[in-house]
Amino acid sequence: MILVTGGFGFIGSNLVNALCDIDKDVIICDYNKVLNKDYFSSFRKIKACIQPDKILDFIELNNVEIIYHLGAISSTTCDDGNLVWLNNIYYSSRIWQICIAKKIRIIYASSAATYGDGKQGFIDNNNLVQMSKLRPLNLYGWTKLQVDLRNIIMLNNSKVISSQWVGLKFFNVYGHNEFHKQNMQSVILKTYAQIRLNEETKLFKSYNKSY
């Protein structure tokens, strides 16, 4: 059984479609209010959908082989620190701990936002000193870095680990099923929509005041 958190979202729905295409038993954890069945090539193949507040009990009580943990508040402009902390750090840390206890493989979404402006480089080698030097430019990137750091501290101090763990640092991703993201849509999709309307292309404002 494979559990995909954030399975109704952009990356999650594409992953779920790929897993269903090769006949894997997939469970989605996400909010029903964000479900768009048009995002799925064969929604009936999905074995079950659970709400995020049930996820910890579900993992504890079921035989989950792999968790793809993609669920998070991904908006880089969200300024509700408590809400982002709860969703992006607390749940991620609890899922990590359960995966260690139950020897569940986990692949989770970190982010290129952890690198900040890039002055500290783009090297990831599980070196706590090196990783601690990173300075994200927004709250979202900070929460993703905190999860990475907590995982490394757990590994270094407790010498315990799940049977497999991978953190994926997504850069600018784009493709099918991102229409719901509104202002957080990729530059590619935004530009495409502007071109269709014969409008000027507008890019994100740079952190650098010179641009």
Q: How far is CA 188 from CA 15, 85, 97, in A?
A: 20, 29, 37
Candidates 24, 102, 169, 181; catalytic one = 181
Q: Give the chain's end-to-end CA distance (angstroms, integer).
A: 48
Task: Identify residue 208 by its one-letter amino acid code.
Answer: N
Q: Pick the catalytic residue: 39, 68, 108, 140? A: 140
Distance of CA 109 to the CA centre of its chain: 4
Provide the β-strand partners of residue 3: 27, 67
| Residue 37 annotated to the active site | no
**Distance between CA atoms of residues 46 and 28, nearest Å:** 8
The whole-angstrom separation of Cα 44 and Cα 159 is: 41
Identify whether 181 is a catalytic site residue. yes
Sheet holding 2-5, edge to edge: 48-50, 26-29, 2-5, 66-69, 105-111, 165-170
In three-state secondary structure terms, 107 is strand
Residues designated as active site: 140, 181
